[in-house]
Chains A and B, each alone.
Chain A
Amino acid sequence: MTPENEQLMAYVDGELDAAARAQFERAMAADPALARSVATQRALRARLAAGLSRQLAEPVPERLVHTARTAPAGPASVATLSARRPRAQSQPSRARVWALPATLAASLLLAAVLGVALWREPGAGGLALQNGQLLARGPVSAALSGLLVSSQPADAAVRIGLSFRDHAGRLCRTFMVHAQASAGVACRTGADWVIESVAAAPAEPEAGSQLRMAGSGWPASLMHEVEQRIDGEALDAAGEQRARARHWQP
């Protein structure tokens, strides 16, 4: 997307601030072709909205109204949740993303944040320290190499959020370990996945609860981290498939 095009879309979508909007409108007044492009984009927006607006007028099935008014509201035990909330609030630092300098101190911190249980699995070993870098091993590494966002099981222990290329050209992926209430970014470096940063993810709800899948649950701080690292945009489903076929090599 060219910067001009990006500006045009942002203008049509009402995303520009007052100053940028005024500037864009001056450019538009001086450039009939630009004004035509804006008109075309506005027409497309209006056409979509008008074409689909009929659906808003359709009568809503009674069963859906019934569900909204009567389906059980969670959590079953309100006391449990309210007991959990103050604790989460009293630990604001857990919401931070720890960008990792490749030092032992950071590694120990990471292990603590991610929770050591995962990494202690006999024989599996979720984490390895090598040449000052933290490498994913075991289940995390397997998920990073094997799972596609579009086809991963809903109940996977390690879930992948998105895949992208970083400024160094490496392929990186966000991952979440529900059981450890942790999420992170790992980048493929040679034959390894280097863990670049981790963040606290929302704690896992009761086992077997549908809550686990509701909402995206990815920490905003991690998304910010991705925005700092990403070159271009996240891979789509086809791009991921190709990247996996290349074993995540650049």
Chain B
Amino acid sequence: MTDQQSAALAAFREQLVALLPRLRRLARGFARVPADADDLVQLALERALQRWLQWQPGTRLDSWVFGIMRNAWLDELRTRRRRGEVLLAEEAGAEVAAVGGAQPLEALAIEAALHELPEEQRMAVLMVLVEGLSYKEAAEALGVPIGTLTSRLSRGREALALALA
């Protein structure tokens, strides 16, 4: 590796470190159970580093890694379904309650409402409303056309507004 590449890689790694709080938040939105979420972050970091040369400097790193994380999570869900390990909602809820004792009710209510949403809607809501990606960036990260993204976003919003009313 040339000096220039080493320097670029070092900078890339530090950008990932700076992204960690947001990556963990997004992973919690996907996986809900905190330990699973951190495993998901770990996997996303490993995959991002493996293909770091494919990231275009000057474009957003966050949405690029979010897309990688989203795919890693879908892989995980598939694996679980194959093994028949789909977590029951109550089990997941119990675990969250156990570790989330210090969280204010408001945060718990929002998490619960988010996890009531179908996977597709939740991802759209997290990418745009929580992480602040543009429609275009979010659609790319999720691998869907923009019209599909906005439609999922709209339905997710309606459901959230009802659940949190």
Report which A residues bind B (CB closer than 8 A). Answer: 1, 5-6, 9-10, 13-15, 40-41, 44-45, 47-52, 54-58, 60-61, 63-65, 67-69, 71-75, 78, 81, 150-154, 161-162, 164, 205, 209-211, 213-216, 218, 220, 223, 226-227, 230, 232-234, 236-238
Are A215 and B54 interface neighbours, CB within 8 A?
A: yes
Residues of B within 8 A of A75 (CB): 50, 53
B135 to chain A, nearest CB (A): 6
A19 to chain B, nearest CB (A): 18
**Which of chain A's residues has its CB closest to B1's CB?**
A78
Residues of B within 8 A of A216 (CB): 67, 71, 140-143
Given contacts A67-B46, A71-B49, A215-B71, whether A56 and B1 have CB atoms under 8 Å apart is no
CA separation between A227 and B140, bound complex, in Å?
13
Are B157 and A9 interface neighbours, CB within 8 A?
A: yes
The residue from B24, B77, B145 contacting A223, defined by CB atoms under 8 A apart: B145
List B residues 40-80 near A (Cβ within 8 Å). Answer: 41-42, 45-54, 64, 67-68, 71-72, 74-75, 77-79
B84 to chain A, nearest CB (A): 12
Residues of B within 8 A of A218 (CB): 143
Report which B residues bind A (CB closer than 8 A). Answer: 1, 5, 9, 12-13, 16-17, 20-22, 24-25, 28-29, 38, 41-42, 45-54, 64, 67-68, 71-72, 74-75, 77-79, 81-82, 103-104, 106-107, 109-111, 114, 118-120, 125, 128-130, 134-135, 139-148, 150-154, 157, 160-161, 164
Are A60 and B20 interface neighbours, CB within 8 A?
A: yes
Are B52 and A74 interface neighbours, CB within 8 A?
A: yes
Are A1 and B110 interface neighbours, CB within 8 A?
A: no
CA separation between A1 and B161, bound complex, in Å?
16
Residues of A within 8 A of B74 (CB): 150
Are B38 and A230 interface neighbours, CB within 8 A?
A: no
B130 to chain A, nearest CB (A): 6
Are B45 and A234 interface neighbours, CB within 8 A?
A: no
Given contacts A64-B42, A150-B77, A233-B152, whether A227 and B110 have CB atoms under 8 Å apart is no
CA separation between A17 and B128, bound complex, in Å?
17
Are B38 and A64 interface neighbours, CB within 8 A?
A: yes
